[in-house]
Amino acid sequence: MIVLGGLMVYWGYQEMSLASKTDATPQTITCQALSDSGPGDNANVVMSDFLLCTMAYVYEGVGSSDSVYSTVWVPAVPLDGTYHRLLKSMLDEEGNIVGDLPMPTDLAVLVKTSKTPNDEALDRLAAADTLGGLVINEIASLDSEEKKLLSESYPGVDFDKVWILEHGRVPAGAGKMYGLMGGGLALLVLGLGIGASGMGLLGRGSKTAVASSAGVHPSEQENS
């Protein structure tokens, strides 16, 4: 109860911190602008003019499945940017890339999504004209495993400096923020009270680390 209460307060504080950097109305921003300057004072964005690098991404599978994803992390580069122009210069007359597919080294945007449970859904997202969500660097970063796997596929990229765009996330309302913090505080008080009355002292909740597997999935990307 104490641990759950603490987590709820923490989640509420995170939502409040992120909300302070967002407006209710999203700003439309190109992938190039987001790469160059970040989201500015509004982390609620609709990103346009992007190319998702679906040839290599990191995913967290559902259970032991390698084909059903709970979360995907996939880099994005600007449409008509340096990397996209390089790809177009490698196309033959039939639209096929000649030679080995190069990997971008200057990417600065990473899309996180829990709304693409399989390759087909990820391909649909890659084909979309825009991608909406929140830039979550204010409250979140990549863990060591995610960074390691991404760096293996994208050598030379500093994933500590990329902008993380969580696809489909919207700003939390006041009810959710204060509900989490108020409910968490109530659980903390109740848990401490029960511990004090039952043991004659205040106990501390333990923390449990839950590890989940992630992998890099290579796939072919058509370019035109």
Half-sphere exposure of 119 (CA within 13 A, CB side): 11
Residues facing residue 69 across a β-bridge:
61
Looking at residue 202, its pLDDT comes to 40
For the stretch 35-83, pLDDT in tens is: 999 999 999 999 999 999 999 999 999 988 788 999 999 999 999 999 9
Domain total for the chain? 1
> In this structure, is residue 16 part of a structural domain?
no
- 26, 23, 30, 222: which is closest to 130 by C-alpha? 30
> In this structure, is residue 51 part of a structural domain?
yes
How large is the angle between the packed helices 174-199 and 2-19, nearest 10 degrees?
160
Q: Can you read off the two tokens belonging to residue 180?
A: 């989490």
Task: Locate all alpha helices (DSSP H) within 108-203, ordered by sequence.
Answer: 119-127, 144-153, 174-199
Asked if 84 and 77 count as a contact pair (C-beta separation under 8 A), the reply is: yes
Looking at residue 68, its pLDDT comes to 94
> In this structure, is residue 134 part of a structural domain?
yes
> How far is CA 204 from its chain centroid?
32
* Domain membership of residue 39 as a residue range: 23-170
